[in-house]
Chains A and B, each alone.
Chain A
């Protein structure tokens, strides 16, 4: 692939281009198991520069992969066909905060936590809160429709995006959505962009819906000797109409991992459920917490600790927040791989899903954990395995298929919040079999030359194991 570096230098300046093999290698990775190689990395700082890059790439049929912090777990930003990796982290201005309209406008490279720090003095916050909020960029979160612990009450990114500016494959700039909470005019193109993983356009500005910071927030942790009881507590909390602002599950593998790595001192039990309520009125928060506590106790939950104090809440939640990486220390020789890492199932199936994950892991000789933002139906797992062994990858591949076969069988979905990319694409394509033509038609209409993050989602290779080289050297 021939790329005119001089042309790119004219657009973004020589200081904003990298093409040493070392840079290309680094920008070929993310938090997934995949590995690719970029042809060049460019760092635009203005919308006009993004437009010029796309006009050039579209004319020359060069793939363009837009990238935030590269913290995605499914290979969304791993280049398959080389191409231009567009690092958007330098477009990181908070353009305006309009408390009177409960919205803000930001560039795509703004980091989630930094935005929330800027919003705090206004008594506002941006709710999606993925665990990676300390590094995840707003552009990346929108492209993945990220969500997190508070999605049970405040929804996912899609529920918090009012509008955006997008540069299309041909370099045209379009304004999608509006500055209003509701919009009923025609196709919701802004919503189409949310979760499109950079395959339909490059988001260069976002208008985000803000929420008032709650005055009171109370977090509790309940222990369970049976995973089933924990899952049933979660189902019943939701079914009774309680309104948690967080409802999380951790199984015994997750508990062991955080205790081993982070010396968290969590109780050695089969499962922990964390539940939180927030609001303006303390009595209302108390009532929600009381209801959820009673439900946990009804399902044999015990050792329930509860706190309104910020420091204590942070301590209570720290284990869950740091779980993903901590799983890598579960057992010497096993690495934590982001495989079958994310799914959603109906509430009534939470307990069954968690048990199924353990059962599938055992059958395929890998270790799998069950945890997640179960209050929003989201279940996470990871496959812990020796990534240097070929047979472990074979087991992992079978496990991934079996997990998603189960998820589909109960009416669940392939991705709750981590996206599709490469590693979840085969399962997702099965789930969306009857709408694949529509998906491909949309892609073709908006990106006829297939330059925007090609070979992802509906266009991804059939076998995720061979879709790219694996980041691990397999012996």
Chain B
């Protein structure tokens, strides 16, 4: 059945009035320019599959997977159509119909075999006993120095983090349509994390554990803010809102409060908080469509450079990675410079002094 998962979203597809307001902020549409690349275009494709007007094809699969899941569309949609949920269902149907890309299949296999998206058995959580369960996530685990920094920050703030021998949160399996694999993985995850309250480092993991596992998740920025003393770093910076943190978790002020407490002069980009522009790293395109991801990242970094701030701070490891790359490309072309740093670097700098 090509619509096994999509049929649950029939009402949502009827609710979309196709007004095209989602064109306004869609990062993929802004780069590619065809309506097929817009959120409305993808919704129409999903509708075509559901109604039998369209037969699933590799071209349709490529388009449905060409989305960063940034949710700018739903934020602008007055009917609040859950575009990401519709696309996730369409992706699941397409995967079951045999249209998963080799890259995505490889990633699903990695999660199954090694517990992380990279398929690297050497990636291990720094297991430690403690009081507050902290979920680190694949992206931060692949950056052991930053993980260590966050754990040291927590300890410096008087908190003893409990770190388990964790596995991927399962978001990539769900987002990329591997529903069977996800169902199995979810059981394992919930056995490992029976706690109702978790502190998560990665915005995407935090949003997913909160939304899909219905756990009471605190993002690390919320936790840090509660315990952080005032400092004066005397820096000037702009802040990039990760999509999952701002549009899903509704966490926009806490990171800004942290920067304020550290004496950082914040210069906002015109697109900030819930209207933040995606970095280009989400929804799986970082793996499957690097060129598109890079192009979106460049759009965002140019917005940051326009603020005149010498520094961009973000708490998301994926945003940091994509934007650092974009900053290097833009700088090389002579189109301006900006340094990109993870929030952990800034907080640790303030605390260690």
Quote the shortest CB–CB distance from A460 to chain B (angstroms). Answer: 20
Contact (Cβ within 8 A) B36 A29: no
B21–A132 contact, CB under 8 A? yes
In whole Å, how far is A220's beta carbon from the nearest beta carbon of chain B? 23
Residues of A within 8 A of B77 (CB): 325
Q: Is the CB of B23 within 8 A of A325?
A: no
Cross-chain contact B80 with A261 (CB below 8 angstroms): yes
Chain B residues with CB under 8 A of A328: 15-17, 79
Rounded to whole Å, the gap between the CB of A27 and the closest CB of chain B is 6
Take A26-B44, A134-B21 as given contacts and tell me if A21 and B54 are in contact as well, using a CB distance cutoff of 8 Å. yes
Residues in A neighbouring B16, C-beta threshold 8 A: 328
For the complex formed, measure the closest distance between the CB of A210 and the CB atoms of chain B, giving whole angstroms: 23
Query: Which B residues between 22 and 45 are near A, CB-CB below 8 angstroms?
Result: 23-24, 33-36, 40-41, 44-45
Q: Is B53 an interface residue (CB 8 A)?
A: yes
Flag B7-25 by CB within 8 Å of A: 1 or 0 each: 0000100111111110110
Q: Is the interface of B mostly helix, strand, loop or mixed?
A: helix
Contact between B20 and A388 (Cβ–Cβ < 8 Å)? no
A473 interface residue (CB < 8 Å to B) = yes
Residues of A within 8 A of B33 (CB): 43, 89-90
For window 310-340 of A, CB contacts with B under 8 Å fall at 322-329, 332-333, 335-336, 338
Q: A134-B24, A262-B78, A329-B79 are in contact. Are A388 and B14 (CB under 8 A)?
A: yes
Question: CB-nearest residue of chain A relative to B59?
Answer: A20
Contact A325 B57 (CB under 8 A): no
Contact A27 B78 (CB under 8 A): no
Is B48 in contact with chain A by the CB < 8 A criterion? yes
Q: Are B54 and A25 in contact (CB under 8 A)?
A: yes
Chain A CB within 8 A of B109 CB: no
* B51 lies within 8 A of chain A by Cβ: yes
Q: How far is the CA of A262 from the CA of B33 in the complex (A)?
A: 29
Q: How far is the CA of A326 from the CA of B21 in the complex (A)?
A: 12
Cβ–Cβ contact A326 & B44, under 8 A: no
Judge if A288 is at the interface, Cβ distance under 8 Å.
no
B54 x A335 contact (CB < 8 A): no
Question: Residue B63 at the A interface, CB < 8 A?
Answer: yes
* Chain A CB within 8 A of B60 CB: yes
**Complex-state Cα separation, A25 to B56, whole angstroms:** 13
* Contact across chains for B20 and A71 when beta carbons are under 8 A apart: yes
Asked if residues B35 and A87 are in contact (CB atoms below 8 Å), the reply is: yes
Q: Between A and B, how many residue pairs show CB distances below 8 Å? A: 103
A18-B36 contact given A25-B45, A261-B79, A323-B78, CB 8 Å threshold:
yes
A1-43, CB < 8 A from B? 18, 20-23, 25-27, 29-31, 41, 43
Q: Does A304 contact B (CB under 8 A)?
A: no
Contact of A26 among B14, B15, B36, B78 (CB under 8 A): B36
Q: In B215-272, which residues have CB < 8 Å from any A CB?
A: none
A223 at the interface (CB under 8 A from B): no
A70 adjacent to chain B (CB < 8 Å): yes
On whether A26 and B17 interact (CB within 8 A), knowing A21-B54, A43-B33, A329-B79, the answer reads no
Are A326 and B14 in contact (CB-based, < 8 A)? no
B79 and A26 within 8 A (CB) = no
Give Cα distance in the complex from A336 to B81, angstroms.
13
With A and B bound together, what is the CA distance between A338 and B16 in angstroms?
A: 12
> Cβ of A135 < 8 Å from any Cβ of B?
yes
Residue among B18, B19, B47, B53 with the highest chain A CB neighbour number at 10 A: B19
Contact assessment for B78 and A22 in the assembled complex, using a CB-CB cutoff below 8 Å: no
- In the bound complex, residues from chain B placing their C-beta under 8 Å from that of A108 are none
Closest 5 CB pairs of A and B: A325-B78, A322-B78, A325-B79, A328-B79, A328-B15
A selection of 30 A-B contacts at a CB cut-off of 8 Å is: A20-B57, A21-B54, A22-B63, A23-B36, A26-B40, A26-B41, A29-B18, A30-B18, A31-B17, A31-B18, A31-B19, A43-B33, A69-B20, A71-B21, A87-B35, A89-B33, A135-B19, A261-B79, A262-B80, A324-B17, A325-B17, A325-B77, A325-B78, A328-B15, A328-B79, A329-B15, A329-B80, A335-B14, A336-B15, A473-B51
Given contacts A21-B57, A325-B21, 4 further A-B contacts (CB under 8 A): A29-B44, A43-B33, A70-B18, A134-B76
